Amino acid sequence: MRIVRATDYLDMSRKAANIISAQVIIKPESVLGLATGSSPVGIYNQLVEWYNKGDLDFRNITTVNLDEYVGLSGENPQSYRYFMNQHLFNRVNISLEKTYVPNGLELDAHKACIKYDTILNNTGRVDLQLLGLGLDGHIGFNEPNKEFSTTTHCVELFPSTIQANAKFFDSPGEVPTKAYTMGMKSIMSAQRILLIVSGISKGEILKRALTGPITPEVPGSILQLHTDVTVIADEEALSRMGDSNVD
């Protein structure tokens, strides 16, 4: 695992965007695993900027997203499909039909999850998986649990996650309580993983995920077992880590 220190959110975003750009340039038909939330917004803005300069071509890229709220359609501004369209897909030359997000409108959880796993099987191995880290250590929407999940499944969101994500809604009461998320086994099967973490509020959980015991109680700790993880975190997020752990 490589841990790269960024000065702040902007620096983290540019460094991470550089890694994604390199992936797109070296392998134009890459499968990218993408994430939502506040953390990746700066990355997507940077990728769009470089696309507008003519440096990037997304026409042969396929993307699979980590998760989606149950009950929200892609037209709902709070859905992750809408987020991805707004922040990236509608701003570059990617083919929308090669961008995949779990279907929040399929209320039969079994069907929705099987369908998404079939999509993941068909798209093939993810070349580069982008991840954020939840305040409770979740990745995707894999909340702390007694065991690590495997494939796509439906989760009950923790109150702390609902609270943290309420910033994207008018009130916490509007945040859906369930989501479909890619499982940990699927996330871990990506060839390379890029974890981005920013802000003082993530300091303690980042330290636990990267240096604490590997346990489903801290889902992100499983990344310690992956052979190709790059963590890009800003000074604030790294403030609880010893210098010896960081490049």
Contact residues for ligand GLP, defined by CB under 6 A: 35-39, 66-67, 132, 134, 140-141, 161, 165
Q: Which residue, chain included where needed, has tokens 């620096």?
A: 11
**Closer to ligand GLP by Cβ: residue 60 or 76:** 76
Structure tokens at 116: 């998404």
H/E segment holding residue 193: strand 192-197
CB of 118 to ligand GLP, least distance (A): 22
**Closer to ligand GLP by Cβ: residue 140 or 203:** 140
Q: Which residue, chain included where needed, has tokens 């070349």?
A: 127
CB of 201 to ligand GLP, least distance (A): 8
CB of 48 to ligand GLP, least distance (A): 18
CB of 197 to ligand GLP, least distance (A): 8
**Closer to ligand GLP by Cβ: residue 46 or 161:** 161
CB of 99 to ligand GLP, least distance (A): 16
Name the residue among 115, 81, 72 with its Cα closest to residue 99: 81
**Closer to ligand GLP by Cβ: residue 102 or 140:** 140
The alpha carbons of the chain give a radius of gyration, in whole angstroms, of: 17
**Closer to ligand GLP by Cβ: residue 52 or 201:** 201
CB of 153 to ligand GLP, least distance (A): 14
Distance between CA atoms of residues 231 and 195, nearest Å: 5
Residue 213: Cβ within 10 Å count: 9
Q: Which residue is nearest to ligand GLP (CB)?
A: 132
| b/e per residue 97-114 (b: at least 16 CB within 10 A) | ebbbbbbbbbeeeeebbe
**Closer to ligand GLP by Cβ: residue 230 or 243:** 230
The answer to whether 116 touches 100, Cβ cutoff 8 Å, is yes
The answer to whether 212 touches 177, Cβ cutoff 8 Å, is no
For residue 200, give every residue at least 6 positions away whose Cβ sits within 8 Å of its Cβ, in sequence order, or none: 236, 237, 239
